[in-house]
Amino acid sequence: GAVAILAQAVAEVLRSRGGPARAGAMLACENPSLSPGYDAASAKDLERLEVIQRGFRINWMNMRDAFTGQILWQHHDWDCSQGETEAQVPREILKCRQVSREINFSSAETMNGLRLVQTVMYKGEHLEEWSFSFGFVIPNSTNTWQQTIEAAEEEEMIPAELLSGNIVIETTFYDGDLPITSQKVRLYYV
């Protein structure tokens, strides 16, 4: 449908501008059989998406023990232009029953339905997926978005030794169904 056409157009624009090779992976859906044309409304949406992408920035992120509030990991100067980055996370985070994650972001543009989808991969295999919705974003604003992630039961947890370096979390931010930015983080438990 229209989303697939727009997704293909976004991929073509990103590739033609020397954008990341992962442009296709950023998309909510792809349809390789699509013709290169798309209607005027889709072109307008594509232009709007490009403006949103230029004005969207992740400022920092942290993860806390949700019960104690203790910060276990934090990262500033987030660079979403890297295809994959690494994070050194303390292994005690795996003992938390709940982890609170805060993401501080700025947006120059209005967004009607900011959300993120995180896909957790273990040794290249899909392990689980989480979706979170923020909703409306005011233009020229900086926001802090907090989510709580509940851990599996202790007996269901994979040991840190097996997880370390083998877990990749891909986080994709969307405005509605349109991808804004995506990044993969390989986790090392230290």
- Over residues 76-125, the pLDDT tens digits come to 877 777 789 999 999 999 999 999 999 999 999 999 999 999 999 999 99
**Is 63's pLDDT higher than 90?**
yes
pLDDT at 175: 95
**Is 30's pLDDT higher than 50?**
no
Mean pLDDT of 19-35: 32
pLDDT above 90 as % of the chain: 64
For residue 130 the two structure tokens come to: 């989480």
pTM of the model: 0.74
The total number of residues written for the chain in this structure: 190
Terminal alpha carbon distance of the chain: 45
CA–CA distances in Å: residue 62 to residues 38, 46, 93, 111, 164: 40, 32, 12, 23, 19
Mean pLDDT of 8-17: 38
pLDDT at 1: 37
CB 111 within 8 A of CB 137: yes
Show Cβ contacts of residue 29 under 8 Å, excluding neighbours closer than 6 positions: 3, 4, 7
Average pLDDT value over all residues in the chain: 81
pLDDT at 43: 84
49-75 burial, b for 16+ CB within 10 Å, e for fewer? beebbebbebeebbbbbbeeeeebbeb
Mean pLDDT of 145-159: 88
pLDDT at 12: 41
| 40 — pLDDT class (breaks 50, 70, 90) | low
156 against 55, higher pLDDT: 55
**Is 15's pLDDT higher than 90?**
no
For residue 66 the two structure tokens come to: 């949700």
Q: Residue 77 class from Cβ within 10 Å (0-12 exposed, 13-18 middle, 19+ buried)?
A: exposed
Mean pLDDT of 35-56: 76
**Is 60's pLDDT higher than 90?**
yes
